[in-house]
Amino acid sequence: MKYLKRQIDKEFEAWKSSVEHKPLLVRGARQVGKSSAIRHLGESFPYFLEVNFERDKTVKEFFDGDLNVKFISEQLSAYFKVPVIPGKTLLFLDEIQACPNAIHSLWFFKEDYPELHVVAAGSLLEFALKDLGAYGVGRIRSMFVYPMSFDEFLYALGDDGLVSMKRNATSQKPLMNVFYERLVERFRSFLLIGGMPAAVVSTLIRIVIWK
C-alpha cells in the first residue's frame, strides 16, 4: 500500500534526533496508520527490526525472565537476522498489547539501553496498561495516531498547494473562487471517504484507473 504523508512524521523525526529519545509508545485505534508511519520512519535507519507479537508467538519467550533488554536485543537480532546497533537500528515492537512483559521491558530499555531507538505500538492499550499503575511515568513517551485529517487527505491527493492556501487565507485575502470551489469539492469527498488510510488509498487507485 502506498505510504501517505502524515503529520506525525515530523514528531517521529524530532524524536529520532533527540538526544534523550525515551522508548516511544504509539497508541491509537486499529487501521489508523500507526505501523505504516513507524515503518516509514524505519526507512531512515540503516537497520529496521520489526517484531509482531500477534503474528509471531515465539518471540514472547524472549521477554520471559528478568527482562535483560540487551540480551533480549541480541536474541531478536539473531532470530530475525537484523543487526541491533544503537544509533543505526530502529527496534519496532508491534501489537505490544499481546505481550505484557514487552510493555514492562520499555522501562528497562530506558534504564539499561537508552542509546537504542525503541518504538512500540498497539491497539486497546488502555486495557493492557490499566493494571500497571504509574508504570512508565517519566520513562516512556506516548504519541497518538488518529485517522487522517483533512490536510493529510489533501496531501494524499497531491493538493499540497491547497493546504498552504487554506492556511494563509484571511477575510482580507480570501481564496480565489476557483481554489475555493476545489477545496469544497475535496472536503465533500473527505466527508464521504473518511480518514482511514486504506479507504483513501482505495480511492486513489480508483482515480488512477478512471484516468
Q: Give the tens place of pLDDT for each residue, 168-186.
A: 999 899 999 999 999 999 9
* pLDDT > 70? residue 197: yes
| C-alpha of 43 from chain center | 13
pLDDT digits (tens, 9 = 90+) for 97-117: 999 999 999 999 999 999 999
Q: Cell for 199?
A: 479507504
CA-closest candidate to residue 79, choices 102, 110, 57: 57
Q: What is the pLDDT of residue 125?
A: 79
Q: Hey, which CATH number is domain 7-144, 3.50.50.60, 3.40.50.720, 3.40.50.300, 3.10.20.30?
A: 3.40.50.300
Give the mean model confidence (pLDDT) for residues 185-206: 91
Output the pTM of the full model: 0.89
Ranges of each domain in the chain: 7-144, 150-210
- Cell numbers 531507538: residue: 117
Q: Cell for 177?
A: 473562487
Q: Say how many C-beta atoms besides its own lie within 10 A of residue 10's C-beta.
A: 9
pLDDT digits (tens, 9 = 90+) for 29-84: 999 999 999 999 999 999 999 999 999 999 999 999 889 999 999 999 999 999 99
CA-closest candidate to residue 149, choices 183, 194, 206: 194
